[in-house]
Amino acid sequence: MMGLWLLPVAVFPASSGALAQANLLPNPSFELVEPPPPTPAEAASGAPAPAEHWLPRTWNVWADGEAAWQCPDDPLQARTGRRCLHAQASRGACYLRYGPMPVPSDLPWTVEVQCHGHGRVVAGAIKAAKTRWVRLPEESVLDLADQWQALQLDFPPPTECREWLLEVATRGPTEAWIDDASVTYPGLQPLGLPPDHALTRDEHTLVYLPFEEPLNEDAFFVKPEVALLEPGEGRFGRGLRFGPEGYVACSADEHLNARSGTVEVWVKTLFPGNDGVSHNLVGVPGPEGMVLCKDQYGHVAFGFSSGWVPLGHIYADGYANSWQPGVWRHLAACWDEQLMQLFVDGKLIAWAHAPRLSRALGPELAIGSPGLEVDDLRISDCVRYRLPVPPAEAPARSG
């Protein structure tokens, strides 16, 4: 195995311009946030956590020792947008981590993170091996200044590295503002996830439901506990709310292609993700089935079954356990005979090579379940989103 090498840190002015390649990170400037699990006092009072304590979605952030961090909702502190990450450490450190990211080839990676403040910020990489994560010894350090600067590192992936994680951390007494991160490699194409606008129909669309008007009773079975949201309450315009017995179904024959397709939908849960209950998002019930769900273990899962036996099936272990109610999240599942992938908020969380696919599905397509709000559901007969992943030489990753 060859070791990871990082070029010496290069400092660029904040106006140096964006990288030419697409950015792998779906939440590069921490604009997508969600509330943290409530403290006992917040749970007792029902008061939400302060805005600056909300968590940047798709990232993991934590602190140890005499260190703390916030994600302030303040355009004056951010380099772009409304938010950035503000880290303070006297003893101990703050850590920001993204990944694991799939390594499809030996092409070099480029990472760029904008920072300012005083003290030091260090960037490094962690190889996600099959049985353990290995922190690589090389790192890149930036001495902070008042103006925004770019901490940049360029490296080829180590031999046989299939996944890696980016880690940015404070070092020593530091106060840092961090924003506008980028991870890319030559040829990376933008995914366009999560979408920032309502979707549309095209020649590959089997069904598109923006939920702006009541569902056609000739085509859909709708229980009375299902109701349209008011304008502006959905992710885009209106949406659909499922009450205690809420259920919507239509024909699966017209709206699914079992051999190739994409299911994408915005979902807001009205329950915490660790509620111990399985919730269907979009699926085909029965022995010849399909499922996109948050299950009773907090896994986010997608796959097909035949005779109740799972065929191609992927999931992210416990990914939803930290979900809090009241947040719109985007999910997209894509499949064909070569690859199956599952994205949440634009982050690839699970995949499988050469999945076993159904030849036939049950007759009913079920949408939603009690305690959900959904919006902008589109099902297509093609793969709309695909992120390059390592060649198939190991069992499919889950989690």
Task: Determine the pLDDT at residue 254.
Answer: 82
CATH architecture of residue range(s) 205-380: Sandwich (2.60)
Q: What Cα–Cα distance (Å) separates residue 118 from each residue in 12, 144, 146?
A: 17, 5, 7
Instruction: Domain 33-184: state its class.
Output: mainly beta
Nearest Cα to Cα of residue 345 among 368, 322, 367 = 322
User: How many CB atoms sit inside 10 A of residue 48's CB?
Assistant: 14
What's the whole-model pTM score?
Answer: 0.91
Q: Compute the distance between CA of residue 398 and CA of residue 8 in angstroms, rounded to an integer.
A: 35
Residues carrying CATH 2.60.120.260, the chain: 33-184
3-state helix, strand, coil in the chain (%, to 5): 5, 45, 50
CA 228 centroid distance within chain: 27
pLDDT value of position 132: 84
What is the largest distance, in Å, between two alpha-carbon atoms of the chain?
A: 66
pLDDT, residue 5, reads 33
Alpha-carbon span 7 to 13, nearest angstrom:
18
- pLDDT at 40 (0 to 100): 82
Determine the pLDDT at residue 3. 33
CA nearest 343: which of 334, 352, 354? 334
Closest by CA to 158, choosing from 10, 350, 6, 9, is 6
Task: State residue 201 phi and psi, 5-degree precision.
Answer: -85, 155
Residue 308 · residue 392 · CB < 8 Å: no
Element of type H or E holding 34: strand 33-34
> Chunked in runs of 10, what are the mean pLDDT values of the chain (399 residues)?
33 39 94 90 81 93 95 97 96 95 93 97 90 83 97 87 95 97 95 95 96 92 93 96 93 90 97 94 95 96 94 94 94 97 98 94 95 97 97 58
- pLDDT at position 1, please? 33
For the chain, residues classed under CATH 2.60.120.200 are 205-380
Per-residue pLDDT, 11: 35
Q: What are phi and psi of 57, to 5 degrees?
A: -65, 150
